[in-house]
């Protein structure tokens, strides 16, 4: 995976979720690397609703592809403010645009300053991809 496929305007987990600060909210999605590993996405099922509180590391849903079913984990704790309404009918948006229209949910972080240190920046995430079996 080349560095150009990693966006430097967000932070990452080692499980390939990304978090992008957008005003008071943080948008959450999965990286292009994760999408490549999953293949064609057939379903995104989120187990949270707007207003729910979630904790960092908590599974908030699943993503199903022609290859596998994977859990989605929250990179940060907070209150869910929005869920991408388009993914129910168009899960392929995650394949087409994992960095934009394929976002999963937005949350208002409850401990951003304390928890963001556990996330990887783009350079660290790129090194993680190079150094690990993913």
Look at the block and give the residue holding tokens 């934009």: 100
Residue-level length of the chain: 134
Domain boundaries, the chain: 10-115
Fold of 10-115: OB fold (Dihydrolipoamide Acetyltransferase, E2P) (2.40.50)
Angstrom distance (rounded) from CA 101 to CA 79? 21
Given a cut of 50, is residue 2 above it in pLDDT?
Answer: no
- Tell me what the mean pLDDT of segment 33-53 comes to: 96
Is residue 69 a contact partner of residue 91, using CB atoms and an 8 Å limit?
A: no
Given a cut of 60, is residue 23 above it in pLDDT?
Answer: yes
Give pLDDT tens digits for 26-38: 999 999 999 999 9
Prediction pTM value? 0.92
How confident is residue 132, by pLDDT bands cut at 50, 70 and 90? confident
Helices (H), 3-132: 32-38, 92-96, 112-115, 122-131
């Amino acid at each position: 995976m080349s560095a150009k496929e990693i966006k430097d305007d967000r932070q990452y987990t080692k499980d390939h979720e990304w978090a992008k600060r957008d005003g008071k909210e943080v948008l959450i999605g999965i990286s292009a690397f994760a999408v490549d590993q999953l293949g064609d996405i057939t379903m995104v099922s989120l187990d949270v609703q707007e207003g729910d509180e979630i904790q960092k590391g908590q599974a908030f849903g699943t993503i199903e592809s022609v290859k596998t079913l994977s859990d989605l984990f929250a990179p940060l704790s907070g209150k869910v403010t929005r869920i991408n309404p388009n993914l129910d009918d168009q899960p392929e948006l995650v394949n087409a645009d994992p960095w934009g229209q394929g976002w999963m949910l937005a949350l208002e972080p409850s401990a951003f300053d304390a928890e963001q240190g556990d996330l990887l920046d783009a350079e660290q995430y790129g090194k993680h991809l190079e150094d690990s079996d993913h």
